[in-house]
Amino acid sequence: MEESSSSSSATMLKLTASNYSIWKPRMEDILYCKDLYEPLQLLGQKPVGKSDDAWSILNRKVVGQIRQWVDQSVFHHVAQETDAYKLWTKLSSMYERKTAQNKASVIRRLVNLKYRDGRSVTEHLSDFQGLINC
């Protein structure tokens, strides 16, 4: 998992096919901290009283912020998406646990999870908990 070195997002990691459950709440936190949550909170609907230009700019900022934290291995799935809410729901439909493929992947990773010499039990349990929380 690649992590950022910038101070404002020091613990943020890029979305991969295996870390959506960790990435999503962190991404939501970043969007809220930067006041970029409206397009997702309003399900992509422009609020009354906001100009089309202001809404378009806000929407594009959200798309840019989300894409910044998407790994190259996933980026091609969202490269053409320009609507923040559609981008968010697309990532959700691809990686949230509810799909059978993702459940099978988690089960496979749990079965193959083994303690490695040289690592602490805490790190191993953290890996296990990360899979359970998927």
pLDDT digits (tens, 9 = 90+) for 13-57: 999 888 888 899 999 999 999 999 999 999 989 999 999 999 999
* Closest C-alpha to 40, from 74, 75, 88: 88
42 and 66 fall within a common domain: yes
pLDDT in tens, 55-114: 999 999 999 999 999 999 999 999 999 999 999 999 998 887 666 666 777 788 888 888
What are the φ and ψ backbone dihedral angles of 79, each rounded to 5 degrees? -60, -35
Task: Give the chain's domain count.
Answer: 2
Residue 50 is given by DSSP the state -
84 and 117 fall within a common domain: no
Could you tell me if 72 and 117 are in contact, meaning their C-beta atoms sit under 8 angstroms apart? no
6 and 69 fall within a common domain: yes
72 and 107 fall within a common domain: no
* 0.85 surpassed by pTM: no
Domain that residue 125 falls in? 97-134
